[in-house]
Amino acid sequence: MAKSTTYVCASCGAVHKKWAGRCDGCGEWNTIREQAALSAGPKGKTLGASKGRRLELSSLSAQDKPLQRAHFGIGELDRVLGGGLVPASAILVGGDPGIGKSTLLLQAAGEFAREGHKVLYVSGEEAASQIRMRAARLGLTDAPVQLAAETNLRDILTTLDAERPALAIIDSIQTMWADHVDSAPGSVSQVRAAAHELTSFAKRRGISVILVGHVTKDGQIAGPRVIEHMVDTVLYFEGERGHQFRILRAVKNRFGPANEIGVFEMTGAGLEQVTNPSALFLSERDKPTSGSVVFAGIEGTRPVLVEIQALVAQSSLASPRRTVVGWDSGRLAMILAVLESRCGIGFGGLDVYLNIAGGIKIGEPAADLAVAAALVSARQDHALPPDSVVFGEISLSGALRPTAQAENRLKEAEKLGFSSAYTAKRIKTVANSGLNVHKSDDLVSFIETCFGRIEN
């Protein structure tokens, strides 16, 4: 049978019939690579019902033992995993190169080993002496972690089989090489095969595995998205390289809430936990500043207050700039359009810059109202009171939609010393709260409440 060729995206794994510059699946450029198709079975043969084994079926009401979780002793990591490590689970930790994945996982390995669990740390990127140097910096030399610097998957599996650790960390999956697959390490087929071998082998032996995956923009090596479906939990380590804050975010979790975040600070001696992120994401806020608004957000199960900063300036360009850090630029365009057509507040001829302070990324639509407030505040050079928070979703009609978990947001604001909140009507408020909650039906009345009538 003739072998045909397929084209596979190295970023998301989408399969294409022909080569293209841009992947339809994920929108990345230059990530599509040629790949020999796997040969199909003999023509005309299908799996019949004759040779299979009859499955044992069970009901939904069957009683299982509750999940036993092991704790890392790093609270923020345990929280993101949904309360600790589930035995025989597979976890993927993705992130940009240099963001701190190896640092985080070496610390996790050290603490886990100190808790009395057997941990194997396999690095395909650094020599054992380099890892020992890092461990010395992190104060982990006494932690009983077993180290190996290896990329050959067959040898790693043999070692896992002999050692039977509770946890194996593979840093990184893109450096692993499975000798039964005929392509270079880092290619889509190698990364898939290595991840499949490791996760299925570890599951059978009751070993938990953590796979490290580099996020790549250029498609030279396969990104972690091609193996997201194979693992139980997918965590991404985010942050700005120049910033010291790092956020570990669960984007998929079969054993806990998705979207939960853990917050860390990169210091000279490794990552330190930040247990009160709200205090950290708010910069000095004693005097009113125009363009700066505090958004009362929710990340996973935890309320987080963040500062949204906007700057609006006269533009000298034919098409003015729209620059966004930490938020979706499409969503910004939408808010600008709603402000213009529903409230008559135009931004034509003005450059608009929007920044979420602290290097956190916000995905919640509830930030709409805070963004709108920051934009109008910057445009009018009119500051909101510094002790107020804002949240609410804006619809295209200009109406404000109530937001989930309003109570938690308000409680967090009150806890951190804020005295007023601006939001949509029909939200559940906290009983006996000292917080002064201003509720509006739509964007027009919200803007009038905050800034008075705006003449154009």
Which residues of the shown chain bind ligand TYD in the complex (CB under 6 A)? Answer: 95, 97-103, 134, 137-138, 266, 268-270
Residues 109-138 that bind Mg ion (CB under 5 A): none
97 interacts with, out of Mg ion, ligand TYD, none, CB within 5 to 8 A per kind: ligand TYD
Beta carbon nearer to ligand TYD, 121 or 295: 121
Beta carbon nearer to ligand TYD, 106 or 231: 106
What tokens does 422 get?
């601006």
Picking from 123, 118, 171, the residue whose alpha carbon sits closest to that of residue 146 is 118
Beta carbon nearer to Mg ion, 111 or 393: 111
117 interacts with, out of ligand TYD, Mg ion, none, CB within 5 to 8 A per kind: none
Count of residues in the chain: 456
d(CA 37, CA 369): 49
Minimum gap (Å) between residue 214 Cβ and Mg ion: 8
Cβ contact 372:332 at 8 Å: no
Beta carbon nearer to ligand TYD, 77 or 371: 77
266 interacts with, out of ligand TYD, Mg ion, none, CB within 5 to 8 A per kind: ligand TYD
Minimum gap (Å) between residue 241 Cβ and ligand TYD: 8
Minimum gap (Å) between residue 97 Cβ and ligand TYD: 5
Q: 301: Cβ–Cβ under 8 A, 6 or more apart, which residues?
A: 257, 260
21 interacts with, out of ligand TYD, Mg ion, none, CB within 5 to 8 A per kind: none
Minimum gap (Å) between residue 274 Cβ and ligand TYD: 15
Q: Which stretch binds Mg ion (CB under 5 A): 94-102, 129-137, 186-194, 293-301?
A: 94-102
Q: DSSP secondary-structure letter at 224?
A: G
Cβ contact 415:320 at 8 Å: no
Picking from 390, 358, 382, 379, the residue whose alpha carbon sits closest to that of residue 293 is 390
d(CA 309, CA 294): 9
What tokens does 280 get?
């950290």
Query: CA gyration radius for the chain?
Result: 26
Beta carbon nearer to Mg ion, 8 or 212: 212
What tokens does 315 get?
């533009």
Minimum gap (Å) between residue 252 Cβ and ligand TYD: 20
262 interacts with, out of ligand TYD, Mg ion, none, CB within 5 to 8 A per kind: none
Beta carbon nearer to ligand TYD, 150 or 351: 150
Beta carbon nearer to Mg ion, 102 or 208: 102
**Secondary-structure percent of the chain, ordered helix, strand, coil, rounded to 5:** 30, 25, 45
Beta carbon nearer to Mg ion, 195 or 357: 195
Helix, strand, or coil (residue 343): helix
270 interacts with, out of ligand TYD, Mg ion, none, CB within 5 to 8 A per kind: ligand TYD
Q: Which stretch binds Mg ion (CB under 5 A): 98-106, 297-305, 346-354, 396-404?
A: 98-106
Beta carbon nearer to Mg ion, 102 or 278: 102
Beta carbon nearer to ligand TYD, 264 or 391: 264
Cβ contact 260:303 at 8 Å: no
Minimum gap (Å) between residue 385 Cβ and ligand TYD: 37
**CA dist list (Å): 350 to 327, 370, 449:** 19, 20, 24
Minimum gap (Å) between residue 134 Cβ and Mg ion: 10
DSSP string, 295-318: EEEEETTEEEEEEEEEEEEE--SS
Minimum gap (Å) between residue 138 Cβ and ligand TYD: 6
Given 102, 290, 355, 377, the residue binding Mg ion (CB under 5 A): 102
**CA dist list (Å): 231 to 4, 10, 114, 220, 278:** 29, 18, 26, 23, 31
187 interacts with, out of Mg ion, ligand TYD, none, CB within 5 to 8 A per kind: none
Minimum gap (Å) between residue 100 Cβ and ligand TYD: 4
Q: Which stretch binds Mg ion (CB under 5 A): 100-108, 243-251, 283-291, 351-359?
A: 100-108
Q: What are phi and psi of 153, to 5 degrees?
A: -65, -35
How many other β-carbons are positioned within 10 Å of the β-carbon of residue 337?
12
- Specify the DSSP element, H or E, that contains 168: strand 167-171
Residue type, 354: L
Q: Which stretch binds Mg ion (CB under 5 A): 99-107, 218-226, 291-299, 361-369?
A: 99-107
Strand partners, 308: 293, 356
Residues 192-251 that bind Mg ion (CB under 5 A): none
d(CA 168, CA 112): 11
Q: What are phi and psi of 162, to 5 degrees?
A: -75, -40
**CA dist list (Å): 31 to 9, 23, 52:** 5, 7, 40
Minimum gap (Å) between residue 198 Cβ and ligand TYD: 18
Beta carbon nearer to ligand TYD, 100 or 219: 100
Minimum gap (Å) between residue 222 Cβ and ligand TYD: 16
Binding residues for Mg ion (CB under 5 A)? 102
